Amino acid sequence: MTVSIAGLAVSLLLVAVAAGVSLVWRLGLELSILWAAARALVQLLIVGGVLVLLLAPERSLWWSWLWVALMVGYAGWTARQRAPEVPRLLPIAATAFLAASAVTMAVIFGLGVLPLSSKTLVPIAGLIIGNAMTATVLVGRRLLEELRDKRDEVEARLALGQPSSQASRPYLRAALRSALTPQIETTKATGLVFLPGAMTGLILAGVDPVSAVLVQAVVMFLVLAAAATTTTVVALGVVRNLFTPDHRLVVPSRTAS
């Protein structure tokens, strides 16, 4: 199944619907909606052109690994832009994406769930990083807020002789729970409430539904593991940055952020 240029142009009516809702309700989001749609289209076209080059049969797999490295760097920068109040989030997020990619790819490719090739490496890496980014930003923001709002409690724990890792543990747990719950709920609802993108795309492409279901199951498990890994690494990294080596809390004020 393919979509023509004319079909793509007609589908822009759906963007007009979203902008129309904003206009009717005076939400002031019309320009944001149009900009988001235009930006997404341009980015997809650029990525499509790059993928044509990366997926060429004679192309070395190292070019795909380079593309993955660029995705990790860009995702770290994007996470930093979305949560500028979290100190030194860029290197923490990039490390988290690398850790999630290593864990999930070791299972997917190392244990032979999928064959390692450019056609599998680039899409899988995109799924890992893209789906983990929201949880990454959420856990960073939530942990910062927890430690900021409960500062008196944390400092009381420190005064009682607890190390920073122990004093921050209840708030770290709360942040992890908050960041992982949406992904867990999404995983629960998959198949009954909605059909995910990977499965829908495969079915539209003419793949056998059972095969599409198996691929989607692998993708959902991969995304869940990636979210758990990235949130853990980010939470530990943020805690490390918010405490001094001598276990003093140094949470930035809201005015400074």
pLDDT at 195: 65
Asked if 147 and 212 sit in the same domain, the reply is yes
Instruction: List, as one string, the DSSP characters of 34-100.
Output: HHHHHHHHHHHHHHHHHHHHHTSTTS-HHHHHHHHHHHHHHHHHHHHHH-TTSTTHHHHHHHHHHHH
pLDDT at 256: 44
Asked if 149 and 177 sit in the same domain, the reply is yes
Asked if 78 and 177 sit in the same domain, the reply is yes
Number of structural domains found in the chain? 2
Phi-psi region of 151 (alpha: psi -120 to 50; beta: other; left: phi over 0): alpha
In a domain, 255, yes or no: no
Asked if 182 and 230 sit in the same domain, the reply is yes
Quote the domain boundaries for residue 94: 60-242
In a domain, 116, yes or no: yes
Q: Tokens for 170? A: 């209840």
pLDDT at 40: 93
Asked if 48 and 87 sit in the same domain, the reply is no
Question: What share of the chain has pLDDT > 90, as a percent?
Answer: 68
Q: What is the pLDDT of residues 109-163, one digit of tens each?
A: 999 999 999 889 998 999 889 889 989 999 999 999 999 999 999 999 999 999 9
In a domain, 87, yes or no: yes
Asked if 6 and 102 sit in the same domain, the reply is no
In a domain, 119, yes or no: yes
Asked if 14 and 87 sit in the same domain, the reply is no
Q: Tokens for 204? A: 């539209």
Three-state secondary structure call for residue 124: helix
CB 118 within 8 A of CB 54: yes
Asked if 4 and 88 sit in the same domain, the reply is no
Q: Tokens for 160? A: 């009682």
Asked if 235 and 128 sit in the same domain, the reply is yes
Q: What is the pLDDT of residues 63-96, one digit of tens each?
A: 999 999 999 999 999 999 999 999 999 999 999 9
In a domain, 249, yes or no: no
For the cut 90, the answer to whether the pLDDT of residue 206 exceeds it is: no
What's the CA gap between 97 and 176, in Å, rounded?
A: 16
Asked if 34 and 90 sit in the same domain, the reply is no
Asked if 45 and 108 sit in the same domain, the reply is no
CB 183 within 8 A of CB 133: no
Asked if 48 and 99 sit in the same domain, the reply is no
